[in-house]
A and B are shown apart, each in its own frame.
Chain A
Amino acid sequence: MSSIFQSSIGKKLIMSVSGIFLVLFLLFHMCMNLVAVFSASAYNAVCAFLGTNWYALAGTAVLAFGFLFHIVYAFILTVQNRKARGNDRYAVVDKPANVEWASQNMLVLGAIILIGLGLHLANFWYHMMFAELVEAEGQYGPTEGAQWLSYYLSKWPVAIAYIVWIVALWFHLSHGFWSMLQTIGWNNLVWLDRWKTAAKWYATIVCLGFAIVVLGFAFEVFPLLDNCCSEAAAECATKCADACSCK
């Protein structure tokens, strides 16, 4: 048992399991975001719900570790793989037609996602969870998620950065999703193509979900049901949040 994580397949297993975790998290995050499409108050309620309580924190910690493992092992594996390639590189390289571009550029895509993640943490997580933890003061309160969305996404450079991020995420997921199943050995001749198709579907749904929110807030058409920028709505949201929070 001891050596399993020292073996190549063991290390890949770590990538795979942490990947599965992130895949599930993204699905959840996307669903949560979609709430903002319809109602600022509902979204803020969700934000408040996922504020500073122990299970949200525990979840965040696990998530952070998942990310960390995924990233650290990505680098460890890449370094090993470059070494395995030898010192001389091919002068001419031509990608075979049926090899996914994404599969050969997972680290680059991952790096873009990581940068995007930094942006995301600074924009939202810092204000909406971290601020609550340290009780810092911001332009909006930690539970005023919808306001933060409007505030940042109405700035074009931010919106564009998010779109780039989402595109990178799509490619990363389109390979990562079936690759993780392949790595845990949950694949065979029949399921090979099925999982690849499922991966594209999954990546598309998740990324569309994210993209809709970004674009909708960028063009200021969301939320559809209540306007998050109106004073009344903000008030209502705060009330809602108070009502829902488990303090």
Chain B
Amino acid sequence: MRNSKSTSNLRHDGLILLGLAIFLAILGVTLSNQFHRSIVVLSMIHAIAAIGLTLLMGYAGQVSIGQGAFMGVGAYAAAFAMQQLSLPVPVALIGAILLPGLLGYVIGRPILRLSGHNLALGTLALGAVFFVVASQWRSVTGGIDPGIVNLPNLGFWGQSHETVVYWLSAVVLLVAAIVAAALVDGRFGRGLEVLRTSEVVAACMGVDTVRAKSMVFAIAAAFAGASGALLALYLRSFNANTFGVSLSIELLMMVIIGSLSTIWGAIFGAFAIIILPNLLESFDHAKLLVYGLTMVAVMMFAPRGLGETLLRFVRSRSSS
């Protein structure tokens, strides 16, 4: 077939996806240790938001330090839908994807007029505003104390809450990965990549750059919303501190630990950032310091992402 290579990206993505599905299924069946299971669940949940951020940062080249806020919007939307509107879980989940997506589009249009460090500042401020609102708008969020409490136990047919959330998160992660892979492998992704290098070039080939940027911001927000809603479902109680500025920075860390060039890096990064602090007991004290130094080192020596640079290094070693 003449174009076999043009579709190789898709095939390659399909294989990784299959591998991921099998890996998550095996873990889901074999992991009996509650603690290990919870680490995997948290990793999967954060990976969804990190994939969204990769689309925005890695592909479109638009930095956001406010991704955690959209996770928060998703979490509160899900909680509100279930507790105050008594909607069933699937409906709440869909609402928690649509609302941040819509909000992302509305905010994205003006805020993406900014670029570079101004965009970083603007989104950081956005995240900070969200935190203040979440901690003060007590009628909806419950503030810092008590926050949201007593979300339903999702266990049914003898399956525990943790097990149900595990499989739900795995499915949402896989769907998110499929959608993201299709977006970046398709013409939308190509348009974004051209846009990252030059908005003029993208516009001159027919890309509506303003719309494309707002759309990718909205999509990233929707991914974050799904992630935040799952986190809310899993934790069953949370408050504004769960979605502070540090969450946005952890999501950034996940992306740069993985890769800025492929969505799979975000999954790797999410697992790394969630697992490491939990494995190293004394790590908690030094967590911020280690994060900071890691970020500095990665940006100095591997600015397209640590995972990606290591992978390239290994490949070039093995081929020579």
Physical interaction between A and B: no
Question: Which A residues have a C-beta under 8 Å from some C-beta of B?
Answer: none
Question: Which B residues have a C-beta under 8 Å from some C-beta of A?
Answer: none
